[in-house]
Amino acid sequence: MKIKDENIYFTGDGAGKAGNIVTAAATGIVASRNILENYK
């Protein structure tokens, strides 16, 4: 998740659909890929 028009992402346990470390890490990957796509 990301704030519209702001470079603030929500990742990890609180932003994930399930409370586990795999989901927390996966949301970090999704945000990282989005950042790389938008700022390359």
Ligand X SMILES: Cc1cc2nc3c(=O)[nH]c(=O)nc-3n(C[C@H](O)[C@H](O)[C@H](O)COP(=O)(O)OP(=O)(O)OC[C@H]3O[C@@H](n4cnc5c(N)ncnc54)[C@H](O)[C@@H]3O)c2cc1C
Give contact residues for ligand X (rule: CB under 6 A): 12-13, 19-22, 24
Burial bucket for residue 15 (CB in 10 Å: 0-12, 13-18, 19+): middle
Q: Residue 3 Cβ, how far from ligand X at the closest point, in Å?
A: 17
Q: Closest-CB residue for ligand X?
A: 12
Nearer to ligand X, 14 or 33 (CB): 14
Query: How many C-beta atoms lie closer than 10 Å to residue 27's C-beta?
Result: 20
Query: How many C-beta atoms lie closer than 10 Å to residue 16's C-beta?
Result: 19
Nearer to ligand X, 8 or 40 (CB): 8
